[in-house]
Structure 1
Amino acid sequence: MSSRPSAPQVITVVGPTAAGKSGLGVEIARRLGGEVINADSMQLYRGMDIGTAKLTPKEQQGVPHHLLDVWDVTRTASVAEYQRLARAEIDRLLAAGRTPVLVGGSGLYVRAAVDTLEFPGTDPRVRTRLEAELDQVGSGPLHRRLALADPRAAEAILPGNGRRIVRALEVIEITGRPFTAHLPGPDEEREHYRTVHLGVRVGRPELDERIAVRVDRMWEAGLVEEVRGLEAAGLRQGRTASRALGYQQLLAALAGESTPEQAREETVRATKRFARRQETWFRRDRRVHWLDGSVTAPATLGEQAWDLLERTVTS
Structure 2
Amino acid sequence: MKTKTKVITIIGPTAVGKTKTGIELAKVLDGEVISGDSMQIYRGMDIGTAKVTKEEMEGIPHHLIDIKDPNETFSVAEFQALVTDLIEDITKRGKIPIIVGGTGLYIQSVLFDYNFSDTASNKQYREQMEKRISEEGIDAVYKELEKVDPDSARKIHPNNTRRVIRALEVYHETGLTLTEYQDKQLLESPYHYIIIGLTMERTLLYDRINKRVDQMIDQGLIAEVKKLYDANFRNCQSTQAIGYKEIYDYFDGRIPLEESIELLKRNSRRYAKRQLTWFRNKMNVSWFDMSSAVSSSEKFQEKIQEILSEIAGKLQLRAK
Distance 1:292 1:159, change over 3 A: same
What percent identity do the matched residue pairs reach? 36
Correspondence for 1:231: 229
Root mean square deviation of aligned Cα? 2.6
Correspondence for 1:314: 316
Q: CA–CA distance in 2 between the matches of 1:263 and 1:230?
A: 17
- How many Å apart are 1:101 and its aligned residue? 0.2
SS of residue in 2 equivalent to 1:111? helix
- How many Å apart are 1:166 and its aligned residue? 3.8
Correspondence for 1:3: none
- How many Å apart are 1:295 and its aligned residue? 2.9
SS of residue in 1 equivalent to 2:278? helix
One-letter amino acid of the counterpart of residue 200, structure 2: V
Distance 1:185 1:210, change over 3 A: farther
Correspondence for 1:302: 304
Correspondence for 1:137: 139
Correspondence for 1:4: none
Q: Structure 2 unaligned segments of length 5 or more: list them.
A: none
- How many Å apart are 1:151 and its aligned residue? 5.0
Q: CA–CA distance in 2 between the matches of 1:221 and 1:265?
A: 17
Aligned match for 1:254, one of 251, 256, 259: 251
Using structure 2 for the length normalisation, give the TM-score: 0.86
One-letter amino acid of the counterpart of residue 248, structure 1: K
For 1:41-190, list aligned pairs within 5 A.
41-119=38-116, 120-121=120-121, 123=123, 124-129=126-131, 131-132=133-134, 135-137=137-139, 142=142, 146=145, 148-150=147-149, 152-154=151-153, 157=155, 162-163=160-161, 164-184=163-183, 188-190=186-188
Give deviations 1:62-99, integer Å, cap 9, x for gaps. 10000001111111221111111111111101111110
Q: How many residues align?
A: 303
Using structure 1 for the length normalisation, give the TM-score: 0.87
- How many Å apart are 1:146 and its aligned residue? 4.0
- How many Å apart are 1:175 and its aligned residue? 3.5
Distance 1:32 1:118, change over 3 A: same
Q: Structure 1 unaligned segments of length 5 or more: list them.
A: 1-6
Runs of 4+ in 1 over 6 A off after TM superposition: none
One-letter amino acid of the counterpart of residue 121, structure 1: S
Contact 1:13/1:25, CA 8 A, preserved across alignment: yes
SS of residue in 2 equivalent to 1:45? coil
Correspondence for 1:195: 193
SS of residue in 1 equivalent to 2:46? coil
